[in-house]
Amino acid sequence: MSDETPTRPGSGVDLSRRMDRMEQNHETLTREVSSLKGTVGRVEQNQVHAEELNKLRFASLDTAVGTLTTDLKGFMSRIENIISGEIETAQSKQGKAILADYQRWHDEVDAKLATVYTPEQRMEIERRLDSHDKFETQGRLLARIGVLMLTSNVIAIIAAIAAVIKP
């Protein structure tokens, strides 16, 4: 009998036809499962590789942070030793020499002022110097404000001329 002829449900031919279709479907399903198995295997392998790469990245990051921490600690200890004076640099020697020279000059000036001026006169000189500093600071502020006003007016005039000239 052919597949086109109707068969009675439950007959041997019907069962044989159903079994053939089930086997075909089973083979197709087996191929698809095998394909999916390969895909899942690749995904798992990619995950394993990603984990290994992350481990390597973080390990290198930890190494870099450790190195930087060590370098920073060494740098900070050197700076602290320079500040405390345990380590003397060429600049600190020059600085000490300049400071000693300034102190010597300051002492000479104080000694001269003590012989020339009375304490009241020295206080008056200090007061005048303080007021001069205040006046100078105020003058600088006013000069800056004047420059700001002048430049803003020049910019406004240039903009107005450009607006008139522009068609």
Calculate Rg over the CA atoms of the chain. Answer: 47
In the predicted model, is pLDDT for residue 51 greater than 90?
yes
Distance CA 11, CA 18 (A): 11
| Mean pLDDT (the chain, rounded) | 87
76: confidence class by pLDDT, cuts 50, 70, 90: very high
**In sequence order, which residues have a C-beta less than 8 Å from that of residue 10 and are 6 or more positions away?**
none
State the alpha helices, DSSP H only, in 12-118. Answer: 12-84, 90-116
4: confidence class by pLDDT, cuts 50, 70, 90: low
In the predicted model, is pLDDT for residue 136 greater than 50?
yes
What pLDDT is recorded for position 1? 45
pTM of the model: 0.36
Q: Please choose, from the candidates 127, 101, 100, 126, the residue with its C-alpha nearest in 3D space to the C-alpha of residue 113.
A: 126
Sole residue written with tokens 């020697």: 93
Segment 103-119 mean pLDDT: 85
**Residue type at 64?**
A
**Residue type at 35?**
S
CA quadruple 99, 101, 106, 107: dihedral, nearest 10: 110
**Residue type at 145?**
I
In the predicted model, is pLDDT for residue 48 greater than 70?
yes
What pLDDT is recorded for position 91? 75
